[in-house]
Amino acid sequence: MGNYTIAVLPGDGIGPEVTDEAIRILDAVASRFGHSFTYQKRLVGVAAIEAEGDAISDASLEVCQRSDAILFGAVGGLPSYDGSHKVKPEQALFKLRKGLQFFANLRPVKPLNSLLSASPIKAEVLRGADLVVVRELTGGLYYGHLEPPVPGKPSEIRQTEQGKSAIDTLLYSEAEIERILRVAFEAARDRKKKVTSVDKANVLSSSVLWRQVANRVAADYPDVTFEHMLVDACAMHLIRKPTNFDVIVTENLFGDILTDEASMLAGSMGMLPSASLGTHETAHGRLGLYEPIHGSAPDIAGQGKANPIAAILSAAMLLQYSLGLKSEAAAIEAAVEQVIQAGYRTEDLREEETKVLKTQEMGQKIAAVLAQ
Ligand code: NAI
Ligand code: MG
C-alpha cells in the first residue's frame, strides 16, 4: 500500500478524453491494490496559453518536478495556434523534456494476438513481435532551435548571395550517447537480451561516434546480444521481420520516424504508450513522463471516437517505471488484452464481428475487468 502524487496534464483535443480514462483505470488499480493516488491537475497546451500566457507555466513545471510521475495527454492541433502564433502549444513538451531532462523515450510495440488483423502487415509476420524503441529525446537534430540559441548548435534559415539556405545541427556528446545506450542495455536485461543500435555511420560523423561509444558500453553487457544497423535498413527490417528485434536504441529524429512506422505493427496509434525517463529521483523511483504516442487528433476530438488504450497503457508504464508497481502494471495490460480478446474495439479498430465502443465505454469495460 502506498501514497503517490501524480501530476496530470490532459492538454488539448482528445488529450483530456483519453486521460480521463487513464485516471479511471488508475482509480480501479488503487481500490484493487489498496493504494492512494493524489492527482495534481494542471493546464497545458492551448488552455494554458489562454489562461496563463504560456504552453506550460513555471508553477506547473514545479508541480511536475515535485510529483512522483507525470501523466500527459496531448497538445496542439487548434487552427488558431497553427504556424505563425508566437507561443505554440507544442512548446510545453520541449519545456518538460528539456527542463526535467527526460532524455530516454521508451516506446514498446507489442501487437496483441487478437488484433493482428487490424494491422496492414500480415498476421504471420507480426505474430510474436515484441520490441521497444529507446529514442534519445533531448539531443540530436531536434535541439538546435532552442531559444536562446545554443552555441555550436545552429538551426536557422540564412540569406546568402545565392538565395536562402538553411541549417540544422546533429550534435551528440559521448556522455549523451553513453547514457541512452545504458538505458537500452538495462532494458534488454529485463527482456530478450538483444540490443540493436541504429545509426547512419556510413555518412554521419555523429553516428561514427555513436558506434564507438555503443561498442564500449556493449562490452559491459556481455550477456546481451548486440548489433549495429543502418537506419534505412532498419526501416525495412522492421516491417520485413519485426520478431527479430528486442530493444532498438537510436538518435532523436531516427527514433521519431521509426516509432511512427512501428506503431502500424500494433494496428493503431491509439494502442501505443510511451515513457520518458531522466535522472531525477523521487521517494519511489525515477520521475517519468507518460503519454500516448499520438497527438491531439482534432479530427475526432469531442466525438467519443478516441481510443483510450494508449493512454491507459501509458498509466501502466507509469506504475511500473516510476512507482515500482509491476504487478499493478501487469494487471492493466492483462485487462486490456481481455477486453480486446472479447471483441470490444474503438472506432479506429473497427472490424467485422467486433463491438465498437465509445471512449468512455472502453475505459469502463477495462476498469470493470480490473475490479473483478
Ligand atoms: P495525431 O496523432 O493527433 O492524429 C493522427 C491520426 O491518428 C488522426 O487521424 C487521428 O484521428 C488518429 N488518432 C490519433 N490518436 C488516436 C486515438 N487515440 N484513437 C483513435 N484515433 C487516433 O497526429 P496529427 O493529426 O498529425 O497531429 C494533431 C496535433 O497533435 C498537431 O497539432 C500535432 O502537433 C499534435 N501532436 C502532439 C503530440 C503530443 O502532444 N505528444 C504528438 C503528436 C502530435
Ligand atoms: Mg512523431
Domains in the chain, CATH or no CATH each: 1-107+269-372 (3.40.718.10)
List of residues 6+ apart from 148 with CB closer than 8 A: none
pLDDT digits (tens, 9 = 90+) for 314-333: 999 999 999 999 999 999 99
Handedness of CA 42, 47, 50, 56 (dihedral sign): positive
Mean pLDDT of residues grouped by 10 in the chain (372 residues)?
94 97 98 97 94 94 97 85 69 88 96 91 96 95 66 81 92 95 97 98 97 98 98 97 98 94 90 94 93 95 97 98 97 97 95 94 98 91
pLDDT digits (tens, 9 = 90+) for 153-169: 678 888 999 999 998 88
Does the Cβ of 76 fall within 6 Å of ligand 1? yes
For β-strands 225-230 and 36-41, DSSP reports them as unpaired
Q: Is 67 exposed, middle or buried (0-12, 13-18, 19+ CB in 10 A)?
A: buried
Residue 123: its pLDDT value, please? 95
pTM for the complete prediction? 0.93
Q: How far apart are CA 108 and CA 355, in angstroms?
A: 26
Measured CA to CA in angstroms, residue 338 lies from 153, 163, 268, 331 at distances of 48, 59, 18, 10
CA of 257 to the centre of ligand 2 (A): 6
Q: Which three cell numbers stand for residue 41?
A: 491537475
Complex confidence, ipTM: 0.97
Q: How far apart are CA 255 and CA 179, in angstroms?
A: 16
Question: What is the SS3 assignment for 6?
Answer: strand
Q: Does the annotation count 193 as an active-site position?
A: no
Mutate to test the pocket of ligand 1, among 269, 274, 348 (most ligand atoms within 8 A of CB): 269
Q: Which residue minimizes the CA distance to atom 23 of ligand 1?
A: 295
Residue 79: its pLDDT value, please? 65
pLDDT digits (tens, 9 = 90+) for 58-67: 999 999 999 9
Q: How far apart are CA 282 and CA 35, in angstroms?
A: 17
